[in-house]
Each structure stands twice: as structure tokens, then as C-alpha cells.
Amino acid sequence: MICHSHPVIKKGNVMLKKKARNKITLVYALILVPLLMYIFFIITPLIISVIYSFNKWSGIGAKQFTGLRNYDRLIHDKNFWLAAKNTLVIALYAVLGQVGIALIISFLMTNHKLKFREFHRTVIFFPVVMAPIVIGFIWKFIYNKDYGLLNALLKIAGRANWIKPWLDDPGIVVKSVSVPVIWQFIGLYMVILLGAVMSIPNDIFECAELDGANWGQKSIYITLPMIWDTLKIAIILCASGTMKIYDQIYVMTNGGPGRSSSVLTLYCYDTTFRIGNFGYGATISVSILLFGLALAGIIQLLMGRRKN
Amino acid sequence: MKKVKNIIGWIFINLPIFLLSLTCIFPVIWLMYSSLKSQQEFTLSTLALPKAPNFDNYIKAWVTARFDTYMFNTTLNSLISLFMVLIISFSVGYLLSRYHFRGRGLVYAIFLSGTMLPVYSLIVPMFIQFNKLGMLNKRFTLWAPYICFELPISIFLVDSYVKGISNEMEDAAAIDGAGLFRTMFQVIMPICRPVLSTVTILTFMHVWNEFPLAQILVSDQNLKTIPVGLTYFTTQYTVDYTLLMAALVMATVPIIIIYLLFSKKIMEGMMAGAVKG
């Protein structure tokens, strides 16, 4: 009986092997096709941008290899450094504003006295899902000199002397455009930090309460150290996310008045598509990427050290 | 005395959050009721409620300002990207999670490297690439970039979800003689519904709101999307505030509806996407 069935098993084995080989080929194919598409549309442009950053090209005709000349120009370009400075200043405001306010909220959310927790969470997160373009327009209305919501509210509050041309004064415009950016993403960092706060075991808080710790002490000595790693991630995300800020400022001021609220992405867009200098635009693209990576590295270094 | 202290404490805790919530919701409400006013009424009093609410602005935006075209393009782009992202991210995420073939780590690294890249450092080279290939200004121009930008987070989400499903399902399917496709799409895909709905919502939101790529890769009036279309309202209709407001409301309503239905899922998805970095 056993002997008799042996060839059948063997035959089945070969078939199984063949089937398995077909399956592996299929698996490779199913992964390879999307992978190639991804490399073509995401990784190739990255390489192109590095190549073009070493060339002079105006969008038509042949490009001309110029070595490091674009980078030399970048280092001496006052407009670039103004845009870089504005971007970093906005990133700093964003970290302080978004993560700072989100941190305070997540402390408050651990307090028993807080009402309507779910409502607040849903409402504060709402601006995160709105289109940055729409946010830009809404704040343009809010800041409008004549018909703006802000100035109307100031009039009602009897503070007419505080009324300012919010987006037309070069002295305050960077602060003005930072507010919507901060406002839009408080909710995102609130949800991230709250996630970490919720995962702290409740008995730690109960122990502290038994020892007589109040809410402030619990926040500083328990909540803060327990969510430190998440806080670090939030700050990195926030800083590198702000490096990409574009839509809102494009709508609100388009970098104006003059160049006073220009940021790196806007400068890159203008250089490439308004002036038509593709090579130099690619150089700015590469610099945006490097700025983001450097910023993330610096924050990691700073906050990692303080932990010990 | 203690009672007074308690009340002050209660106000101290509740007031700041209440005010923040108010600033998050009031501008949107203001936008909505102002869009029902005429331009004249709006300039007379910025804050007042509309005396005779009407939908003239909506009709005007829809008919004369081409909002219908923008809406159609954005909807089509969203649906096609969504469909492709679901199929691709599910199969790649599933296979990466279940098959430990050679090169798997590299594939994963390539997909995840994309999450580090800001779109803005790719728009110039993408324009050059699309221009050379003659792929600017086509109906399909934005589909591939949109799909690719959504893949990393979607694959990551599917991969970590599938890791939590036990192998028994596949074993049972194999005994029943199901092939790879049937196992993937008829056995595992239904189990993955929660994570796929997260992918759906995130992708839809991102594609619906996307601006820079649409601005640069498409300049044909008939193919423009809502976010790009909105910027034309200010140049063409500089003074008509309430018309623009109506357009902004129409651009936002689908997002509001999805948010009200799925706010928990959206928060979960965004949190998972953010913290993995």
C-alpha cells in the first residue's frame, strides 16, 4: 500500500513545488510593479533635482553644467537667507505654539474638573483636516483691514486702537502668518500627545494622589517625563513640517509685502516658475530637504541629551 | 472660601480650552453664514447674521465661476487615486508583512524613505520630468503622483495591521485550495476593513485638499482642481468676498461631512502615520 502510493506523493510534491515557485514569482511581480512606479515618480525626481542643481537651465534649450556655481550663488543670496530665516522663525513659533499649547491641553485633559472632553477634542482637531488653501483664505478674511473678523471683534471689544494692517505691515507680517499655521495644527499634536498621556498606567497617578501630589505636580513629575519621547517626535514633526509650509502663505501674502514674508518653498516656486531659473530652483529644492533633515537631527541631539 | 476656590479652579481649567475650541469653530460658522449674504450686506456689517439668507453666491460660483468643473475634476482624481491606493497598498502591505523574501528590507526602506521627502522639494524636478515625457496637462497627470505620495503611510498601516492577524486564516484557505489572489482579496481583505477604511479617509482627505502639485502640473482650465480653482476666485473676482466664501464652503463641506462621521478614525490614522517617523 505504502509502496504503491509513493510515486503519487512524489508527483504531488513536484506539483506543489511548481505551484510554490509560481506563487513566489507572483509575489515578486505584485511588489515590483508598484515599487518601480514609486521609484519612477518619487525617487527619480529626487535624483533629477540633485543633477539640475549643478546646472544652469531656463526651462528651454540645453542645460549647461556649472558645477557648484548655483550653491555658491545660494550662499550669497540675500533673498534666500531672508526666506530661510522666515521659515526658521515660523518653525520656532510653530513648535512653541503648536506643541506648547498641545502640551498644556493634554495636561488639562488629565484634570477631573474638565468638562466636555470629547467635544473639545473633536473641535480642536477639526482645522487639521481642512485644506491649507481654505485656511489661508479664511485667515485672509479674518485679517482683512476693512471687513475682517479680527478688526470687527477689536472694535466691539473697544480696542479700536489695536487695529492694524495685519498682513500689510512688514514689521508684523511674519507673526501674522504664523498664527494660522499654529492654529491649524494644534489639534494634531494634541491628539499625538494625548495618545501618550492615555497610555500612562492609571495607578501611577493614583499612587501620586495618595502621596498628596496635586494636579500641577502630577503634570510635571509624572506626565511630562512619561511622554518625553512622544514630545520629542512631536517637536521634530512640527519643525520639519513647518519647513514645508506653502499653501497658507501663498494665499495670504504670497511672500509680501515685498519679500517680507517669503519662505523657502515660495522662493523656490518663484525662482523656478516665475523667473524660469530651473537649475537654481532645483538648488533651493535640495536646500529645503537638507534644512529639514538638519533640523530634525539637531532637535534629536538636543532633546536626547537632556533626557539623561 | 473653599467653594470659591473650587469655582476659580474650575474656570481656570475650563476657560482656556473653551476659548480655543471657540476659535476653531467660530471662523467656519462665520464663513458659512456670511456666504449667504450679499456683498453689500457683508461690507456693511462683517459680523451680523444675514437678514435675508439666499444661495445666490452658490449658484453664481457653481455656474459662472466654473466650480462645477473643479468639483468634477477633484472628485474624479480623488476616486481614482483612492481605488489604486487601496489595491496597491493592500497587496504590497500584505505581501511585505507575510512573505520574508530576499530584498524585503530594501523594498520597505525605499517605500518609507518617501515619508521623509517634502513634496515641495520634488515639485521642480517633477515638473521637469513630466514636461520631458509630455505628461503635463493630461486628465491622468495627477493620478500617479497622488497615488505614490499616499503609498508609504498606507502600506505602513496595512503592514502593521496584517501582522496582528494570525496565520490560521491563510492555512485554512490553503487547505481549501485557494490561490494567492483568492486568499488575499477574499479572505484577508475583508478582515482588514478597519485599516482600509482608515487608508480610505486619509487618502481622500489628502487628495481632496492637495494644492502644490495640482498648481504646477496642470494649467489647463478644464482640468483644474478645487484648491487651484479657489485661487482664481481672488484674481478674477477680487472684491466679491461672499462669492469666494460660498466657494470655500463648497470646497469644505465634503471634508466636514467625512470628519463628522469618522473623526475617531481620522485621528487614529493621523496619529499612527505621524508617530512611525
Q: Which residue of A has its CA nearest to B8?
A: A113
Is the Cβ of A255 closer than 8 Å to some Cβ of chain B? no
pLDDT > 70: percent of chain B: 96
Give me the CATH code for the A69-307 domain, please: 1.10.3720.10
Which residues of chain B make contact with A133, given a CB cutoff of 8 A? 209, 211, 227, 230-231
Is the Cβ of B17 closer than 8 Å to some Cβ of chain A? yes
Which residues of chain B make contact with A129, given a CB cutoff of 8 A? 205, 255, 258-259, 266
pLDDT tens per residue, range B231-247: 887 765 566 788 888 88
Q: Is the pLDDT of residue A25 over 80?
A: yes
Q: Which helix (H) or strand (E) holds A64?
A: strand A64-65
pLDDT > 90: percent of chain A: 16
Radius of gyration of chain B measured on its C-alpha atoms: 24
The pLDDT assigned to A19 comes to: 73
The pLDDT assigned to B66 comes to: 83
Which residues of chain A make contact with B267, given a CB cutoff of 8 A? 121, 125, 191
The residues that bridge with A56 in the sheet, in sequence order, are: A64
- Looking at per-residue pLDDT, the higher value among B255 and A147 belongs to B255
Is the Cβ of B130 closer than 8 Å to some Cβ of chain A? no
Best of A43, A58, A141 to disrupt the B interface (most B CBs within 10 Å) is A141
Cα angle: B162, vertex B164, B167; to 5 degrees: 75
> Among A259, A90, A267, A97, which Cα is nearest to A178's?
A90
Is the Cβ of B208 closer than 8 Å to some Cβ of chain A? yes
Question: Which residue in B30, B110, B251 is closest to A38 by CB distance?
Answer: B110
- Which amino acid type is present at position B45? S
CA distance A306 to chain B (A): 21
| Contact yes or no for A254/A266 (Cβ under 8 A) | yes
CB contact burial A165-182 (16+ within 10 A = b; e otherwise): ebbeeeeebbebbbbbbb
Q: Is the pLDDT of residue A5 over 60?
A: no
- Please tell me the distance from the alpha carbon of residue A245 to that of residue A252, in angstroms, as a whole number: 12
Is the Cβ of B187 closer than 8 Å to some Cβ of chain A? no
pLDDT (average), residues B39-48:
79
Which residues of chain B make contact with A128, given a CB cutoff of 8 A? 270
Q: Which residue of B has its CA nearest to A233?
A: B275
pLDDT tens per residue, range B77-126: 999 999 999 999 999 999 998 888 888 889 888 888 777 777 777 888 88
Best of B21, B128, B231 to disrupt the A interface (most A CBs within 10 Å) is B128
- Please tell me the distance from the alpha carbon of residue A112 to that of residue A115, in angstroms, as a whole number: 8
Which residues of chain A make contact with B120, given a CB cutoff of 8 A? 244, 246, 264-265, 268, 285, 288
Query: pLDDT-based confidence at B208, cuts 50/70/90?
Result: very high
pLDDT tens per residue, range A66-92: 878 888 888 888 899 999 999 999 999
CA distance A139 to chain B (A): 9
Fold of B60-275: MetI-like fold (1.10.3720)
Q: Is the pLDDT of residue B165 over 60?
A: yes
The pLDDT assigned to A23 comes to: 78
Say yes or no for a CB contact (<8 Å) between A120 and B13: no
pLDDT tens per residue, range A286-304: 888 888 888 888 887 887 7
This complex has an ipTM of 0.87
The residues that bridge with A65 in the sheet, in sequence order, are: A55
pLDDT tens per residue, range A178-224: 999 999 999 889 988 888 888 888 888 888 888 887 878 888 888 88
Q: Is the pLDDT of residue A9 over 70?
A: no
Q: Is the pTM of this model over 0.90?
A: no
- What residues 212-231 of chain B have any CB closer than 8 A to a CB of chain A? 212, 216, 226-227, 230-231
Question: Which residue in A23, A243, A282 is closest to B124 by CB distance?
Answer: A282
CA distance B24 to chain A (A): 6
Please name the residue that has the C-alpha cell 537632556: A306
Is the Cβ of B272 closer than 8 Å to some Cβ of chain A? no
